[in-house]
Amino acid sequence: MSAGSAAPVVLVGAGLAAWTTARELRKLDASVPIVLVTRDSGDFYAKPTLSNAFGQKRSPEQLVTTPAAAMAANLQITLHTHATVQSIDTQAHTLSLQQSGSVRTLAYSRLVLATGATPIRVPIAGDAAQVVQRVNHLDDFRRLYADVAALPKRADGSPPAVLVVGAGLIGCEFANDLSQAGFAVQVVDPAARPLAALLPEDASTQLRQALEGLGVVWHFGRSVQSLDASADGAHRYEATLSDGTRLGADLVLSAVGLRADTALAASAGLACQRGVLVDAHLQTNAPDVYALGDCAQYSAAGGRTLPYVMPIMNAARALAASLAGTPTALVFPLMPVAVKTPALPITVAAPDPVLQGQWIQDPATTGGHEGGAWRFIDAAGAQRGFVLTGKQTAKRMEWSKATLP
C-alpha cells in the first residue's frame, strides 16, 4: 500500500453502518488507528426513531443516544465532524478532506464508504414546491420538528393538516405517527394500496383500514402535480393532484423512497449501479476500498440494496472481521422487518423480488383484531417469505425458522 501500514482505517459517514463497523472493528483490534469523517455532527441515534418521534413526543435532542465525542472517546477513534470528502485517489490511498474552510490530504490503509442514501425527489410544480420536506437524517427531522412547532393555532380549533406523499414503509410510519400526535393526515400515492411493494393485498387492506381508524385519508392512484401557497388562507398550501383534486395542507412531507448516495464513489471511479457494487467481502472494484449500508449494492443479496437495520448489522460484523485480518464473506440470514405502525403492527420477511411464487394466507387467520398471516410460496413449494400482522407478529421466530432466506 502506498500509504504505508501506519495509515488508519478511514470510515466516511456517521450512520449506523459506520459506527457499527468502528465498534465491531475495535472489539477485534484494540490498536488499529481508525478515523471517522462525517458531514454532520456525527451524534449517534437510531434512524428508525425518526418516523415515530412525534407520537412519542420526543424532540430531536432526545433521539440522540450518544454524542459523537463520547462515541469517539469510547472507541478511541479520531473524529472529523462537519467535514466533506471532496475526492478519493484509490491508487495513492488518499482522500481530499475539506473542513473549516481548509482542504488537506488524508491517507488511508483501508477505506470504508458508508455514505448512506438520499431521498428521491419527485418533480412538483408550483410556487411552494420548495417547502416539501424529506426526512432521512436527524438534521432533516430537526427542520421538520421546527416547522411543526411553528404551525399557527387554527381559529376553529381543528388540527393542522399534513400531506404525506408516498404510501410506502416510511410514508405509512409517518402517517401513523403524525395521526397519533394529533394531526389531520392525508396520504397520496400512485399505487392502489399502502405498502403495495411489500404486502399481499389483504394485508394492505388491513393496514389501510387500521390507519383510517386514526383518521388518515388515502388518495390512491394519484400523484401530487403542484403545490402552491393557499389563496383562501384556510391552510398554508394547496396541493393539486393528477386528477385535479385539490387538498389543503399546512405541512407537506415527501416519503417516496431512497436512492443510494453513490456520488463520491462514482467520482472515484468505483463501479456503481443502484448502489456501490461490492463483492461478498464488501470490497469494491478498487483495492482496499469497501462499502456497506444504504449506499451499497450487495452481491451477497443477489445485487440488491438493503436499506434496513439488520442487513447493516450483519454487513458491519463481517466487514470488521475482514478488516481485522480474518477474511469473512457476508452471508445474509433471513431478516424480517418490523413496520412501525402501532395501529397495525406488521412484520415482513420479503422474498427476493425476482422469485416466482404466490402469497397464501394462513387459513387460521382472518384479519380483524387478531391480525393475519401470509406465506410466500415459491415455484418449488418452499416458503421464502412471510407477512404477519396484529397479534400474529408474535409468531415471528416460529415463522422465521420455517422460511428459507
Residue ranges making up the domain that contains 196: 121-254
**Cα–Cα dist 24/14, whole Å:** 14
Q: Per-residue confidence at 4, pLDDT binned at 50, 70, 90?
A: very low
Asked whether residue 285 falls in the same domain as residue 367, the answer is no
Residue 339: φ, ψ to 5°: -85, 125
248 & 137 share domain: yes
Instruction: Please report whether residue 249 resides in a domain.
Output: yes
Q: Count other Cβ atoms within 10 Å, centred on residue 274.
A: 13
Q: Is the pLDDT of residue 3 over 60?
A: no
- Name the residue with higher pLDDT: 151 or 192: 192
Which residue(s) pair with 375 in the sheet?
360, 386
Q: What is the pLDDT of residues 205-256, one digit of tens each?
A: 999 999 999 999 999 999 999 999 998 878 999 999 999 999 999 999 999 9
Q: Where are the beta strands (DSSP E) in 108-261?
A: 110-113, 117-119, 133-134, 161-165, 184-189, 217-220, 224-229, 237-241, 246-249, 251-254, 258-260
**How many angstroms separate the CA atoms of 328 and 281, rounded?**
6
The residues near 394 (Cβ < 8 Å, ≥ 6 apart) are none
What CATH number has the domain bearing residue 200? 3.50.50.60
Mean pLDDT of the 350-378 span? 87
Could you tell me the CATH number of the domain that includes residue 357? 3.30.390.120
Tell me, yes or no, whether 328 lies in a domain: no
Residue 229 shares a structural domain with residue 310: no
The residue length of the chain stands at 405
Mean pLDDT of 366-384: 88
Is pLDDT above 50 for 392?
yes
Position 394 pLDDT exceeds 50: yes
87-134 residue pLDDT tens: 999 999 999 999 999 999 999 999 999 999 999 999 999 999 999 999
Is-contact 185 178, C-beta < 8 A?
yes
**Domain boundary residue among 273, 293, 323?**
323
254-311 residue pLDDT tens: 999 999 999 999 999 999 999 999 999 999 999 999 999 999 999 999 999 999 999 9
Please report whether residue 105 resides in a domain.
yes
Report pLDDT digits (tens) over 155-205: 788 899 999 999 999 999 999 999 999 999 999 999 999 999 999 999 999
- Are residues 241 and 145 both part of a single domain? yes
C-alpha grid cell, residue 72? 469517539
Q: Tell me the whole-structure pTM to 2 decimals.
A: 0.94
Specify whether 101 is located in the same domain as 131: no
332 falls within a domain: no
74 and 126 in a common domain: no
Domain shared by 138 and 196, yes or no: yes
